[in-house]
Amino acid sequence: MDGLVEFRTADGAVVTVEAAEERSGSRLVSRGDGTVQATRTFEGALDGVRAAAESALRVFRDGSLKPDGVEIEFGVKLAAETGAFIAKGTAEGHLVVRLTWSPATPEASAAS
């Protein structure tokens, strides 16, 4: 286990997560129980991942495929200083996209 990081939410609740190891040469100082206080709020840490999800949804919804449903799955890691980032599940990265289409109903086909 890499360690624990406590994030505060905007309403003051505490979210404790298993943290990803920071890549920089410095180490954060933890409390006696090994927990590190995050430098961002929980919502702030997830801002970049939210922006990536919104962008990916735009690509698949606005393209020529026109799916009825779009499901995007990110592996997310949280770190005390860098916040959230998309985790790699393989050498390339971790992103699963599912596009779904419903069969046309007879009434919808007749109206076209």
Lowest mean pLDDT among 19-23, 44-48, 108-112: 108-112
What are the residues whose beta carbons fall under 8 Å from the beta carbon of 45, sequence distance 6 or more?
A: 7, 38, 78, 83, 84
CA-to-CA distance for 6 and 8, rounded, in angstroms?
A: 7
- Share the mean pLDDT of the chain: 78
- Amino acid identity for residue 82 in this structure: T
Token reading at 111: 């109206």
Residue-wise pLDDT tens digits, 5-19: 888 999 999 988 887
Token reading at 97: 């996209």
Tell me which H or E stretch contains 58.
Answer: helix 42-62
**What pLDDT is recorded for position 91?**
52
CA-to-CA distance for 78 and 34, rounded, in angstroms?
A: 16
